[in-house]
Amino acid sequence: MRSEATRVYDARDARPGLPADFSTAVRGLFEFRGLFVELVRRDLLIRYKQTLIGVAWAVVVPFSAMLVFAMVFTRAVPVETEIPYPLFAYSGLLAWNLLATSLRTATTSLTLNHALVTKVAFPRGILPLSTIAVALVDFLVASVILGGMMVYYGVPPSGLAVLLPLVLLAELALVAGLSLLLALAHLFYRDVGYIVGLGLLLWMFATSVVYPVELVGGRLGALLRWNPMNPIIETFRAALFGGTLPGAPALLGTALGSLALLAGAIVWFHRLEPRFAEAI
């Protein structure tokens, strides 16, 4: 007989219909919040204790990438930006790496934890979602360097900084929805892991990470405007440094679309959960 804890998240116990599935899945995730915290703690210990420079890796990756792009876009192919280019690139990479790191680790989170998935009763959505919390810690650590760079270049925080939590929540909703879907897809189709790496590289260059996408004109430029990460990163910069905010419809559309994606991913993940053990 299944335990009460198992019944909390098992899709087979939910009444038919999206609201019932959604509420059952969310309730299960909340009930096992202690396990979520332990998984995040475990991953942080592994990430930072078993490396030579520990927590500094959270800073080394975006900072070294910023140096490379600064050499390219200030010397080889000069790009004009409203703020010093290193600040432009580092802030974009900071926001982008939160998404990219989360998706890379979330994609394989179910298959790498196959013993937990097959032998322990808990809502498996905790596994991909816990990787986002680890990436968020990296984001916060690397943000300290961004603060130091702002002092160095004499760029004070904008009065729009109050928007930063809202921008971060919109990005986290997008990341959480994609993480659940990619973890699910990788469980049934292992080729997804290879596709994610290439997809993230292409997606980054279609986003205002290291250059302003406004520079791209024509049909390609119009297509790039549909990229949900562009309003997020552009608003992130505007909230930090001031400047022109993206259009309200684009930002609102991204936020609402991200929430809808997350809700749909939670329901789909929950409904397919009974098949995980046989798929792994």
pLDDT tens-digit readout, 175-188: 999 999 999 999 99
Q: Which residues contact 122 (CB under 8 A, 6 or more apart)?
A: 5, 9, 32, 35, 116
What's the pLDDT at 223? Answer: 86
Q: Is residue 10 part of a domain?
A: no
CA distance 85 to 257: 31
CA distance 79 to 233: 18
Instruction: Provide the residue range defining the domain that includes 124.
Output: 35-279
For range 94-118, the mean pLDDT: 93
pLDDT in tens, 57-102: 788 888 999 999 998 888 878 888 889 999 999 999 999 999 999 9
The H or E element spanning position 71 is helix 57-71
The model's pTM is 0.88
CA distance 219 to 10: 46
Q: Is residue 21 part of a domain?
A: no
Q: Is residue 53 pLDDT above 60, yes or no?
A: yes
Q: Is residue 120 part of a domain?
A: yes
pLDDT in tens, 182-221: 999 999 998 998 999 999 999 999 999 999 988 887 888 8
CA distance 268 to 273: 9
What's the pLDDT at 65? Answer: 92
CA distance 129 to 123: 11
Within its chain, how far is the Cα of 85 from the centroid? 24
Cα end-to-end distance, the chain, whole Å? 23
CA distance 249 to 254: 8
pLDDT in tens, 38-52: 999 988 888 777 665
Q: Is residue 86 part of a domain?
A: yes
225 and 139 Cβ atoms separated by less than 8 Å:
no
Q: Is residue 12 part of a domain?
A: no
Q: How many domains does the chain have?
A: 1
Burial 220-247 (b: 16+ CB within 10 A, else e): eeeebeebbbbbbbbbbbbbbbbeebbe
Q: Is residue 24 part of a domain?
A: no
Q: Is residue 77 part of a domain?
A: yes
Q: Is residue 207 part of a domain?
A: yes
The chain-wide mean pLDDT, for the chain, equals: 87
pLDDT in tens, 225-259: 889 999 999 999 999 998 777 766 788 899 999 99
pLDDT in tens, 132-153: 999 999 999 999 999 999 999 9
